[in-house]
Structure 1
């Protein structure tokens, strides 16, 4: 994990908890903790802004029965790929190192998530995955105003008034069942809506001010 000493104490603690959740989910054999009769828990990559780490970890722990957090966000320095200008290399590295065997990518949206370059990279790599892309959805964190800007690469994949879209944007779930349906919708889109994917323009080169 990166040097997180520059963050506030609460954010440092949340980032450590996120790292622990990742390792716990990776070490548990699916089916050991949950009954075979339980609803399907898809393997979800969680993309987020480090500033929202406290809310993100609370969200993941609250909905532990709904999805399996397979990997959680890229390190802030991205030292192994940040200097590369090869888009295919960046996509492949993110897929192999971070997305791993997830089938759905969920962007947890806070006020500045749109400005984080790694969120853009993670969305792009999720959409570009072969042979099957990740399902993609965004869920707004509880403290986030309704007027918050969504990441641009997500926005171009949302439904428009006159056309369908690959990804959906949701406000904070009202129930476990609602989030389960939302994740299942994203999972199903991998095969039913893959033709609607819009990769968009160049990868974001730097974080924007927020």
Structure 2
């Protein structure tokens, strides 16, 4: 949706609710998957990362701090003092809040399919580094093979290494303001390039 559509409205509403709750989520199962997407799709990437990386309750890293290796049904399924939200309804492997994984793939890594294509014959790779993270890495298996992407960044530059399987192609879209240092022979126009199968390394500053 464009800025007049639902996602933009959700983004404005999200910022309002988050600010009233000290930067924390205030949704249940249905609303949580859309928060980070709504924010990042409307020029609020920093706020989306801030939300992802909250270490106190309620938040994903709060669960990690309590020893979680899967996503829980309740943010405070197990509390710091060892008590449980509920002994009767308290799954410690529950997908609903784990829906943020879709945002990690589609935005943090930027792995997606080009609009109007099928079977991942053409991918859109648009990584969006941020949140103080030094790197992110992932891949997606398709009928044509594996698309893989890794980005690493320091205080000066960002490296993006990515692979496109045989008989496939990809559009690489760098973050706004990227100044390319090394392109591995790829020709860019306004931060965007189209490539065929192979493995590439691009370096830029911002």
Structure with bigger strand share is: 2
Task: State the TM bucket, normalised to the shorter chain.
Answer: under 0.3
Q: RCO higher in 1 or 2 (8 Å CA, sep ≥ 6)?
A: 1
Q: Which has the higher helix share?
A: 1
TM-score normalised according to structure 1 size: 0.27
The two structures have a TM-score, normalised by structure 2, of: 0.27
- Choose 1 or 2 for highest CA Rg: 2
